[in-house]
Amino acid sequence: MFRVFPLHLSGLGLSLIVLSSSSAYSQQAIKSDLSASSPLVTLPSSLIFNNPVEVEESPPPPLPRPSPDQIISSFIASETRFRETLIQFSFKRDVVLQTIGAQGEVTGEYIRNSVFVLDDRGARIERVLYHPKSSIKEMRVTKEDIQDLAGSQLFGLDIGDLNSYNLSYLGEENLSARPLYMVEVNPKRQPDPYHMRFRFFVGRIWIDPVSFQIVKLRGITEPHGKQRFPFFQTERQLIVDNMRFPSTASADVVLNFPPKDVHYRIKVRYYDFKRFAGRVTIIEPEVEPD
């Protein structure tokens, strides 16, 4: 005869009955053995169908927010790495400066397309590729305008001259649905309109809270003297070697000259960043004594 053996799996809360079928075994004997065994336990459907059980997990606690001093020091370190990285690259820059008429038409245009490298001191070395004669009549493009295009409008503040600036943390601001740190930049001393050679970025920068790299900067270059300069905005949207490189700079303002107001527009594009093996080094020539 075959018997029915009750198998108790207490760890699962289940009594499993192993049956050996036989035509000679009566149905009554099966019922008797079943009644003597432990009661059957119904399994949850999630176990029967091997479905995972969803468990609500608490979100991780937010990381401690750095102090304003930590944000500024981390930004300085990140911007220093950016400059050290950029001197290993050449890049192209296309500039279009325009004056705009009352109906929105272009009344004059200045074009300057160049390729740049930075020397070991971070100074920009420009090779002009295309520069037709300017058709702007309502104002003059000065050497300070050209200086700003390759200086503050490219970098903002000069990281090599931090002692000339005050950096103040202003808080967070959402740009394109992402929170960024905002820092105000001001020169420590009042720019001198009689010394136009020494010019300073005045404005704000927006910093990524993870990498502490500049995402955007907006401001103006001072002093002005008898000239007029636009508020501009520079975006760093190109990712190269995990660093944010400049992508565009722009301005669209009305400059208030004494004779009349001039609607002025700037469009700058940075592109074609290429790493090169060597580095440009500037060597001071030795001067022989008389």
Q: Where are the domains of the chain?
A: 5-48, 68-274
Which residues are CB-contacts of 135 (< 8 A; sequence separation ≥ 6)? Answer: 108, 109, 110
The pLDDT of residue 39 is 53
Task: Give the model confidence (pLDDT) of 159-218 as tens digits.
Answer: 878 889 999 999 999 988 899 999 999 999 999 999 998 899 999 999 999 999 999 999
The DSSP element (H or E) to which 96 belongs, if any, is: strand 89-100
The residue written with tokens 């420009």 in the block is 126
285: DSSP letter:
P
Residues β-bridged to residue 5: 18
The CATH number of 68-274, from 1.20.120, 3.40.50, 2.50.20, 1.10.10, is 2.50.20
pLDDT over threshold 70, residue 140:
yes
pTM: 0.73
The pLDDT of residue 48 is 45
For residue 210, which phi and psi values (nearest 5 degrees)?
-100, -50
Q: Return contacts of 25-29, CB within 8 angstroms, 24+ apart.
A: 25/1, 29/4
Which among 62, 4, 65 is positioned nearest to 29, based on CA atoms?
Answer: 4
Task: Give the model confidence (pLDDT) of 97-128 as tens digits.
Answer: 999 999 999 999 999 999 999 887 778 899 99
Cα(first)–Cα(last) distance of the chain, in Å?
A: 126
The pLDDT of residue 28 is 52
The pLDDT of residue 20 is 45
Q: Position 57: which residue type? A: E
Determine contact, residues 235/154, Cβ cutoff 8 Å.
Answer: no
- Mean pLDDT across the chain, nearest whole number? 82
pLDDT over threshold 80, residue 85:
yes
Query: Could you give the CA distance from residue 162 to residue 100 in angstroms, rounded to a whole number?
Result: 37
